[in-house]
Structure 1
Amino acid sequence: MVATEQITALAAKLYRADQERTPISPLTEADPNLSAEDAYRIQLEWVRLQQQAGRRIVGKKIGLTSKPMQQMMGVTEPDYGHLFDHMVLSDQDVMRTDELLQPRIEAEVAFILKRDLKGPGVTVADVLSATRYVVPSIEIIDSRISDWKIKLSDTIADNGSSARVVLGSKPVPIDGLDLQLMGMVLEKNGQQISTGAGAAALGHPAYAIAWLANKLAAYDISLHAGEIILPGAVAKAVPVEKGDHITVRFSEIGSVSVAFG
């Protein structure tokens, strides 16, 4: 295991990179043997720094839920990160690109919980019964690692490469929704560039959330009522820059948009 003082130093390095908008070299470049377990320790220390700065946890995000992404990263399970209050944007907001380093966007169905979920043993049925509603969302991912040259431990330590989330404005109850087959169309500057379906997130987005609740049980962490849970992208990430406009449309639950200014 990496020594506690080194964990603290690496978390501070990532925190400064985010604050100063200056990417750093991959952590795995200096330590090729950095484990996922130690990377989560770095992430939790980074979370503590955010809370120390007055920011509040409002949810969690899951990444690496598609089989192609897992194969590319050489892993067999997803990863996760934390969402803070300053990360949440509303439908049709403008995202200032000078607050980001090298952003990309992903389309997801965001779950809002009405009661706590804590593993082990959480099932898809538990997730569905604990969900207040879903909304279309755009996750803005970013990396504090130069040129996205990340391995699994880099992105875990970097809070799952999280940055912002844009939430749709019309909550939809999940009763009667086929979240597995729900289709998605992603438009960039008025042009359709990607499509997908809910099954891309571990076969079913609620299964991804069950995985997260059970994974977090090892750290004695719960998913809490009122939290936003992002279960993973339904299509590949798309790079964005100043001047771009993104719209994501989901069948049955509507659309969400964001502009980059």
Structure 2
Amino acid sequence: MDRVTAACEYLFELRSTQRQVAALPADLVPQSIAEGYLVQERLVGKILNRFGSQPIGYKIACTSELAQKALGVDGPFFGVLMSHSSYSSPAMLRGSDFVVRCAEAEFGFEMGADVLPGPVYTADTIRPFIGTARPSIEIVDHRYHDWQTVGAPSLLADNAIHGAWVAGEPYADWRDLDFARHPVTLVVNGEQTFPGSGAAVLGNPLNVVAWLANQLPKFGRRLGRGDRVTTGITTGIYLARPGDHLTADFGPLGQVSMSFTTD
């Protein structure tokens, strides 16, 4: 069995059993970002097959300085959103389905057109390809004792440590919003608040969509009509507990809410 397949099988077993480890075995650690994405592609295929699911878009990790420092990496990377682990707000998720419940209030988008290959996209030039925006919460989950020590290839190999995605209603008039200055607040149990803004994600969440459009072709993929994209944490990090209720308030863009059961 080659290293990519072996790493995929190992990560799939960790996800299936919720077992945690310090790191991937030395002989299974992806040796590059490109190899990490090969592992991710095979792992996502196994997950989709297990749940009878399908890919619906992409999540981007480490788009903020806070997240990059927390994970010990120096730039963003992407994972795949899947239908079986994506929910409409308000959502109730089983607390015991997750090893870690890192809640991230994120700007989400749905592509309105296929992104053409060739150009280097910017926040301005990616806009015509976007259909709608929406508020969302991503739940990051991982199987490492310390996610700050394993490195980007191991993190992205595990589908960029994606756990679940909860999305609010689509907002068609997003072109009138100033995403770089757009405030966001994550509210925990109606009491604790975590303020943030679109500036936290590469200065503007549209920069993140452009980054993804530029990165995907390097790995044989591209953004297509209907793909959903969630662009990374906008506030401080909150590790949720079973029983928590979370609301992310995006002002005129709307709200998204979810809860974890205690079992």
TM over 0.5: yes
Provide Cα deviations, 1:119-144, integer angstroms capped at 9, x if missing partner.
44222223211111111100011002
Identity of paired residues, percent?
Answer: 29
Counterpart residue number, 1:123:
122
* Counterpart AA for 2:183: G
Q: Does the CA-based 8 Å contact 2:67-2:233 persist in structure 1?
A: no
Report the secondary structure of 1:135's partner residue: strand
Shift of 1:112: 0.9
Report the secondary structure of 1:180's partner residue: helix
Q: 5+ residue gaps in structure 1?
A: none
Q: Does the CA-based 8 Å contact 2:105-2:234 persist in structure 1?
A: yes
Q: Does the CA-based 8 Å contact 2:7-2:28 persist in structure 1?
A: no
Shift of 1:233: 1.1
Change (3 A) 1:16 1:118: farther
Report the secondary structure of 1:208's partner residue: helix
For residues 2-21 of structure 1, what are the structure 2 equivalents within 5 Å? 5-21=2-18
* Counterpart AA for 1:20: T
Q: 35, 39, 44: which one pairs with 2:41? A: 44
C-alpha separation in 2, matches of 1:240 and 1:106: 10
Q: Does the CA-based 8 Å contact 2:30-2:36 persist in structure 1?
A: no
Counterpart residue number, 1:214:
214
Q: 5+ residue gaps in structure 2?
A: none
Provide Cα deviations, 1:78-108, integer angstroms capped at 9, x if missing partner.
1110011011111121111121111111001
For residues 228-247 of structure 1, what are the structure 2 equivalents within 5 Å? 228-247=228-247
Shift of 1:236: 2.7
Q: Does the CA-based 8 Å contact 1:184-1:249 persist in structure 2?
A: yes
Report the secondary structure of 2:252's partner residue: coil
C-alpha separation in 2, matches of 1:131 and 1:123: 13
Mapped pair 1:146 → 2:162: no
Counterpart residue number, 1:201:
201
Shift of 1:38: 1.8
The ranges of structure 1 where at least 4 consecutive aligned residues each deviate by more than 6 angstroms after the TM superposition are: none
Moved more, 64-73 or 93-102: 64-73
* Counterpart AA for 1:145: Y
Counterpart residue number, 1:112:
110
Q: Does the CA-based 8 Å contact 2:111-2:129 persist in structure 1?
A: yes
* Counterpart AA for 1:141: V
Provide Cα deviations, 1:44-78, integer angstroms capped at 9, x if missing partner.
11122234333210010101111243345454321
TM-score by length of 2: 0.90
Provide Cα deviations, 1:196-228, integer angstroms capped at 9, x if missing partner.
110111011011111111111112201111111
Counterpart residue number, 1:69:
67
Count of residues paired in the alignment: 258
Q: Does the CA-based 8 Å contact 1:28-1:151 persist in structure 2?
A: no
Q: Does the CA-based 8 Å contact 2:62-2:76 persist in structure 1?
A: yes
Q: Does the CA-based 8 Å contact 2:246-2:258 persist in structure 1?
A: yes
Mapped pair 1:137 → 2:129: no
* Counterpart AA for 1:248: A
Change (3 A) 1:68 1:221: same
Change (3 A) 1:131 1:85: same
